[in-house]
Amino acid sequence: MKLTANFTILFLVIVLIAALFAGCAQQAQTPAQPKEIKIGAIVSMTGPNSNIGKSMWQSAFLAADEINANGGIFVKQYNTKIPIALVQGDDESNQKGGQNAATKLITEDKVDILVGGYSSGVTSAYQQTVAEYKVPYIVTGASSPIITHRTDIDTSTVFHHCPTTDAYGKYTTNFIDQVIRPAVNKKFSFPADRPFRLALLYQDTAFGQGVQAAVNETITKNNLNIQLVSQQKFKMSESDFRTPLTVIKAANPDALYVAAAPNEGAQIVPQARRDVGLTTIFLAVENNDAPEYYKGIGQYGEYSIIESRFSPYTAPTGLVTDAQNAFKNNYFTKWGMYPDMMGASTYEGTYIAAKAIENAGTLNKADIRQALVDLRMPQLIEYMKDGTISFSKDFRESQFNHWMEQLYYNSTIGETRPKIVWPDNLKGTDFALPAWYKPGSA
């Protein structure tokens, strides 16, 4: 009897071990198919950057909706399409919120890939977590080059799908040199060798400092005839710019280049013109090409300039015009407002994530990362260099085509609207100096 019992126990143990090994083997051969592919979107849904954050989230949502309407992303490993589940991480427009959002998305929600990220200061604060878990991350808002250039942590899983401060700082400085400087010289009969007096007002963050460095470097490197007569900085989310603007006015600039977020830029221009009486040309960084900026600057923004690559209110004629207008119209239909530039790149970022997963054919993060490295997909709604979305081999940055817009006041809507004035192959009209413009003097 006792022998039979021992035999039974031994038999059960063997069956159990066999079942266990069989289970492991089966799992290794055909892993369970996930019900959804989780794309985490780190966006500023609350705090000072919430306008941009919402545009980014709503754009990602629209892209996920469109992809899911076609059944989702085809994953070769499972030989089927799997729908996207977009998971939101609110960075609350600050570094601590960003850290919390990234940690939750990666460790609790276990997302397969990340998109989003606005404000270089906020995004760089949680990159350590992204590096630790080696999650592929397509950054679509934070524009400082440090995002992928930094060497203190591993950034190899981070891909930058928005122009860097280096790129647009250089582009804008060249516009000043090639367009505004000759126009001022011509209108006021100045000698051609008169140095152009440029002032800078920039946010004291990686973003603003990046623009300042790019302007200084472009002037020095290309030996441009531009003199920086005042360089003032302000802290993030500042609302009173009257004193630095007074200092800038005292320096008598020919133009003022402002590196600020839309909520700051929308206050700088009215305070400069209305309160300080600065009658000059204002140039804004591309992130200001957003509905809230147009609303904030009102009539004071007339004749000011925005460097851009996507505008809610204009588009150059070309290959992606229809796609861009379709995106704007679909966005308006769904959300009742127009998207901003960060929304456009996040919309594309979601499609890039989907394409990378499809190309990888698996949800393995290392394979998705490699698919992003090898990615070459046709441009979607923004004009890319060579018409292709791909990431550079050195710092994994995609390359955009830019343009410059000048704003004209529309009294019917009580806001300005942009017209493209540069480069020549995209422009709809020429750059113009307003009648009230006064050039600077030494």
Query: Given the rule CB under 8 A, which residues bind other proteins?
Result: 46-48, 50-51, 204, 232-235, 237-244, 246-247, 249-250, 262-263, 266-267, 270-271, 274-277, 292, 295-296, 298
Nearer to other proteins (CB atom), residue 298 or residue 423: 298
| Of residues 54 and 160, the one with the C-beta less far from other proteins | 54
Q: Rounded to the nearest whole angstrom, what is the least distance from the CB of residue 296 to other proteins in the complex?
A: 6
Q: Cα separation of 280 and 278, whole Å? A: 6
- Whether a cis peptide bond, with omega within 30° of 0, leads into 423 is yes
Strand duo 137-139 + 113-116: pairing? parallel
Alpha helices in 308-386 (DSSP H): 321-335, 341-360, 365-373
Supply the minimum distance, in Å, between the C-beta of residue 435 and other proteins. 16
Instruction: For other proteins, give the closer residue by CB, 232 or 280.
Output: 232
CA quadruple 193, 405, 256, 233: dihedral, nearest 10: -130
301/349 with CB nearer other proteins: 301
To the nearest whole angstrom, how small is the minimum distance from the Cβ of residue 235 to other proteins?
A: 5
Q: Going by C-beta distance under 8 Å and a sequence separation of 6 or more, which residues neighbour residue 222? A: 174, 177
Distance between CA atoms of residues 138 and 373, nearest Å? 11
Structure tokens at 9: 């126990």
Minimal distance, residue 328 CB to other proteins, in Å: 18
Amino acid at 136: P
46 vs 314, beta carbon nearer other proteins: 46
Q: Which residue, 31 or 434, has its beta carbon nearer to other proteins?
A: 434
270: left (phi over 0), alpha (psi -120 to 50) or beta: alpha
Task: Name the minimum Å distance from CB 234 to other proteins.
Answer: 4
DSSP string computed for 52-121: HHHHHHHHHHHHHHHHHHTTSEEETTTTEEE-EEEEEEE-TTSHHHHHHHHHIIIIIS--SEEEE---HH
Token pair 């071990």 is at which residue? Answer: 17
Min dist CB 239 to other proteins, Å, is 6
User: What CA–CA distance (Å, rounded) separates 225 from 209?
Assistant: 22
The least CB distance from residue 242 to other proteins, in Å, is: 4
Residue 400, strand partner residues: 384
Q: In whole angstroms, how close is the CB of 45 to other proteins at the nearest point?
A: 9
Q: How far is the CB of 9 from other proteins (least distance, A)?
A: 59
In contact, 179 and 422? CB cutoff 8 Å: yes
- What's the min distance (Å) between Cβ of 52 and other proteins? 11
Give the residue with the Cβ less far from other proteins, 271 or 390.
Answer: 271
List the end-to-end C-alpha distance of the chain, in Å, as a whole number. Answer: 111
Residue closer to other proteins, measured from CB, 123 or 232:
232
Q: Based on CB atoms, which residue is closest to other proteins, 106 or 236?
A: 236
Q: Which residues contact 192 (CB under 8 A, 6 or more apart)?
A: 182, 185
- Residue the block writes with tokens 């992928």: 148
Parallel/antiparallel/unpaired status of strands 73-75 and 80-82: antiparallel
When the beta carbons of 250 and 366 are compared against other proteins, the nearer one is 250
**In terms of CB distance, is 56 or 135 closer to other proteins?**
56
Q: Residue 354, CB half-sphere, CA atoms under 13 Å: how many?
A: 26
Shortest CA distance to 284 belongs to which of 305, 314, 301?
305
* Helices 341-360 and 321-335, axial angle in degrees (round to 10): 110
Name the minimum Å distance from CB 338 to other proteins.
13
